[in-house]
Copies of this chain bind each other. A is one copy, B any other.
């Protein structure tokens, strides 16, 4: 497909766009939740959802009774967007203030995952996406639990990334204004773990140094 033919072609700030899967996958793998867009009647709905990428698809899960997930499983058109907010961009002018970010937009039709092996693999991958190594510790899903979990897959054949990075871009006359300008990076870090009131098992190693991404 040519870039011009894709619905995912970035039109505003095309210099910020990327279409290669390496760039796209890096963002999808670092993000924890995304925002799912669906249409009901003529009304768009946007809901936050956990997801995981496995090879060439995103997997989402939920309760089978969920209207939105049911509509997804029936193949409605959807959009799934993952955004990583990297920092504030503080310019000398109000106008040139911005945010540094990396985002991915995936368009398509989801499909219900009915194969038991694919379903179990997707659910394990979802837990691993939240906390690597966790599937080795936690009790695996029972047949009854698998039955009450709907899993849908969204193929990554229509997707694009958009990134803004770097310092503010002020106009030349503004450079002499006595205003601090630059970037303020934002990072997501773990706070103090809070054990469940019934828990007497030692805390897993590495929990306090939890970070998304390689950074």
A175 (CB) vs chain B CBs: closest residue? B198
Is B46 within 8 A of A36, CB to CB? yes
Give chain A's interface residue range (CB within 8 Å of chain B): 35 or more
Interface contact A79-B46, CB-CB below 8 Å: yes
CB-based contact B127/A94 at 8 Å: yes
Tell whether A26 is near chain B: CB-to-CB under 8 Å: no
User: Please, which residue of chain B has its CB at the minimum distance from the CB of A191?
Assistant: B185
Which of A17-25, A52-60, A96-104, A110-118 lies at the interface?
A96-104
Chain B residues in 8 Å Cβ range of A170: 196, 198
Minimum CB distance partner of A35 in chain B: B35
Assembled-state Cα–Cα distance A185/B94 (Å): 33
A119 shortest CB reach to chain B, Å: 12
Q: A188 and B186 in contact (CB under 8 A), knowing A33-B83, A181-B199?
A: yes
Complexed CA–CA distance, A130 and B87 (Å): 10
Knowing A99-B33, A191-B185, say if A105 contacts B46 (CB, 8 Å).
yes
Chain B residues lying within 8 Å of A127, measured Cβ to Cβ, are 94, 97
**CB nearest neighbor in B for A202:** B180
Q: When A39-B39, A44-B39 are in contact, do A178 and B193 touch as well, CB less than 8 Å?
A: no
Of B45, B103, B126, B188, the residue contacting A188 (CB under 8 A) is: B188
The answer on a CB contact under 8 Å between B179 and A195 is no
Min CB distance A47 to B, Å, is 7
